[in-house]
Structures are given as structure tokens and as C-alpha cells.
Amino acid sequence: MANVTYPNSTFYFNVGARATDDPRNDLKPLTMTNFTARLSNHVYQLNVGDTLESFSQYTLSSAIKGFSYRFKNEEKNTPEYTVVYGYAYPRWDNFYGDSEVKTIKRTAYGARVKKGLSPYFTTGLSFVRFDDSNRINTTDPLYDGNVVALDWEYKPFEGLSLSGESSWSDTKQSPSAGAADINGSGTAHRLLFQGEGGPIRLSVEYERVSPDFQSLMGCATADREKVKARWREKRGRNSSITYGLLWFRDNLSGQKAYTTNHYRPEIIYTQRRLFNRQYASGDFSYRLDRAFGAPQGVTNHYLNLGYHDRFGSFDCDTNLGYTKYSTTLAGRDSEEMTYNTSLGTRFTRGDTIVKPSISLGGWTASDDLADETDTIREAAVGLGLDFPKSKIVSNLKVGTHKLSKGNAASDDSSRTFVNLSVYYRAPFLEQMNQGQLFLRVAINDYSFSTVSRDFVETSVTAGVSSQF
């Protein structure tokens, strides 16, 4: 990575690669993971390689591999212009690799204009086109379409914001090789209110996306109407309470046999200085997930309790979670419990920072209808050693993980694991942004009720990392 500053502009360059002989880490033994070259100043920015330009929620909010150019002259109060062109590939070797990494070629390009019409009102117009080609399997669908959107934001004063977006899409879908094309067009609209005053924060969002709306480079769920509200209130210096509600439904055009409504209310309460202790804090949350209207109904309950405290020089974190699942027709009636606690401290011995820790946790799942209970137990000890003068940070964790199955026909299993990580800020990497050498080692020893399934896996990773 390189970051060079000239009198009137800055050039940034970053490239990364990964080498491995384990197909679980990567399909290819050697591959380029990232590539970015960027030239910018106070007026323009040109980016080549990995590109993430966020036009709006419905038009473009996905990364591409290509280029983007952005222009805005603050001194002359010009609009902000942005253009992009590239391919929606997840990997760089999708361009040149063999059949293992070949994927559908999705070309995407577009433009955006954004302008502040007043100190309080900003609006933007976006256009994105996507075009698929190179079908890999005969059943792979291909899409060809356009998305146009107008978004805006109004801030009349501090603490109040009203924003929204309206979008239209026109898409042609080729479901499979030889199948007739399917043409469709749809709309999407959203409106968001955010307010803050004194101890209260409030947000209300409304969204409606028609069944035929398609935005492959943006973010939208077709055939959905949604309302989301959240109220957060501070109660004094040490406590707060949050109320939330999410409702959404489908079947907006009546094209289905039935409509499914979802209701998800929640409440979160946090309290600091519990029991009049300086470092004690706790939180409680409850959420209901209720769906009905279809032949199958769902009623799920989610409950969580958390507690943090300090005892002398030891920090303690404890969490308890309970979930109740209930589904009609499908016949699901089960419960899950999670519980974990950790205890750690930090002290200095000479030039070394020592950070020992211990953690215990578990998970229990009970199926009342099948009369089965599965459990997981995990225990681990950790030791962190930091050497500030040598610029070395290390951490070692050793533990066991045991799974007990309620079904006698299923295998119980246990895993003994060792994880080691070492990070070194070498002097020759000082020119890099947070540049450092790293070494990670992981050893997992698996044992099963069926002895023939036992195995040991070892993973060693070494390299150079940086942040940008």
C-alpha cells in the first residue's frame, strides 16, 4: 500500500493477495484479494479497481470492480457529479479464472447528480443500468434493466430531518436458456422522519416496494410494505429505555392467495451504576416476532439479560438469552437458551502488558415435540502478552467445546482448540497506514462418538495487513 501526497492532490494505491493450500480458505491457491488506485484533490476523485459509490438505497449501494469519477467544486457551489462503470464480480479472478470461479458477468454503469438547493434542502437524481451475460448454467436467470431514483433530504433545524426516495425500474428477465423473457416494471418509495430533542430520539420509516420492482445493484425487497418506528428516551444520567415496532406485509397487488402480516415489537432497557456500584451496568431486551395471515402462523419470543461489573482489577461480563419458537402447522415447539460469562484482568510486569482471561459458555436447545435436548458447553482460558517497546501484540487461547445430541442416532462430539495470534509493527512498514506483520495459528482436535470420524486440522496464516 502507498499513500503519496502532492502539493494539490493525493495518490493512494493498495493491492492484496492470498496464498493457501486449504480449499476451505479459498478455491484457488493464489488469488488477488483487492486492488485500488485513487487520485484525488479538493475538487475531484478518480478511483480505479475496487469501487464503492453509494448513489441511493434503490439505485446503487453495492461494490463493483471498475472505476468511478466524482466532481464537485465547493468554491463555485457546483452540483456533485458522479459516474461509475464496472462489473459486479465478488472476486478478481472472476475476470480470468477457470470454471471453479466463473460466474455470471454483470455489467453495471450509472451517473448521479446531487445539489444543495438551500442550506436546508438537498436533492439527488440517480440512474443505474445493469446487464447480465455469460450464463454459466442453463437454469441461471439473466437480468437486463434500468433504475432511476429521485432522493431528497430536508433539515429545517438542528435535531429534525425528513428524507425520502422514489424510484422506478424497468427489467427484462431471461429465466433460463431457451425460456421466454419476462418483462416487468415497478416502483419503490420510502419516507424517513428523524427527530431529537432533549432526552428523546424518535425515528419513523415508511416503505412500499411493488412486486415487480428490481434493483440488483441497490437494496430493496420486492412486494413489501413496511413501517418501522423507534423511540429512545434517557431517564436521568444512568438509564434509558427504547421502544421499537416493525410491521411489514406482502401481497401488495393481491397476486397471492393470502397476505402475511409480520409484527415485531421490542423493548430495551439499560441501567448504569446498578446496586450503586460504579462499574456495574445491566441491560434487558425483549422482542416478539409474530406472523399471521398465512396457513402457517409464527409466534417467537426473544429475551436477553446482560450484566457487566468490575471486581477489584477483574472485569466480568455475563449474558443470558432465552428464545421460544412456536409455529403452527409445521409443528415446531422448541426452546433455546444461551449463557456465557467471562472474567479478565490487565496488569503490567516490567515492559510487558499481561492480559489473562477465562470464559465459560453454553447453549441448550429443547424440542418439546421430538422430546430431544441438545447441549453445547465451552470453556477456555486466554493469555495476552503485549510488548509496547517491541511493537508486538500476541494472544493465546486454549479451550474445549463439547456437543451432546439428544438423538441417540446422532454423534456426540468434542473439540479441543488452540488459537495463537501475533502482530508485529515492523519498522520497515511504518510508511504504511497501520501496517503490520501477522501470524495466526489454529489447531482443532475433533473427537466423535464414532471414532473413525476423529480428525485434527491445523491452519497457519502469515502476511501483511494495513487499514485505509
- Residue 22's alpha-carbon distances to 29, 439, 464, in angstroms, are 8, 16, 19
The residues facing 236 across adjacent strands are: none
Strands 436-448 and 314-327, by their bridges, are: unpaired
Whether residue 365 is contained in a domain is answered as: yes
Whether residue 237 is contained in a domain is answered as: no
Cα gap 431→113, rounded to integer Å = 36
pLDDT band at 13 (very low <50, low <70, confident <90, very high): confident
Q: ∠ CA(376), CA(378), CA(382), 5° rounding?
A: 165
**Side chain identity at residue 14, one-letter code:** N
**Side chain identity at residue 76, one-letter code:** K
The residues facing 256 across adjacent strands are: none
Cα gap 401→363, rounded to integer Å = 11
Whether 151 shows a pLDDT value over 70: the answer reads yes
pLDDT given for residue 468 in this prediction: 43
- Residue 154's alpha-carbon distances to 123, 207, 283, in angstroms, are 9, 18, 35
Whether residue 220 is contained in a domain is answered as: no
Whether residue 333 is contained in a domain is answered as: no
Summarised one tens digit per residue, pLDDT across range 47-104 is 999 999 999 999 999 999 999 999 999 888 899 999 999 999 999 988 887 778 889 9
Residues spanned by the domain of 370: 346-468
Summarised one tens digit per residue, pLDDT across range 304-330 is 999 999 998 899 999 999 999 988 876
Whether residue 427 is contained in a domain is answered as: yes
Summarised one tens digit per residue, pLDDT across range 367-415 is 876 678 899 999 999 999 999 999 999 999 999 999 998 777 777 899 9
Contact 100, 27 (CB under 8 A): yes
Range 283-299 average pLDDT = 89
Whether residue 202 is contained in a domain is answered as: no
Whether 24 shows a pLDDT value over 80: the answer reads no
pLDDT given for residue 419 in this prediction: 95
pTM of the model: 0.83
Report DSSP letters for 5-62, one per residue. E-SS-EEEEEEEEEE-S-TTT-SSSEEEEEEEEEEE-SSEEEEEEEE----BTTTB-S
pLDDT given for residue 462 in this prediction: 80
Secondary structure (3-state) at 388: helix
Strands 314-327 and 298-311, by their bridges, are: antiparallel
Beta-sheet strands, E only, within 259-391: 261-272, 281-292, 298-311, 314-327, 332-345, 347-349, 352-367, 372-387
Whether 296 shows a pLDDT value over 50: the answer reads yes
Secondary structure (3-state) at 276: helix
Whether residue 108 is contained in a domain is answered as: no
**Side chain identity at residue 23, one-letter code:** P
Total domains in the fold of the chain:
1
Whether residue 462 is contained in a domain is answered as: yes
Whether 445 shows a pLDDT value over 60: the answer reads yes
Contact 375, 403 (CB under 8 A): yes
pLDDT given for residue 115 in this prediction: 95
pLDDT band at 433 (very low <50, low <70, confident <90, very high): low
Q: ∠ CA(169), CA(262), CA(249), 5° rounding?
A: 30
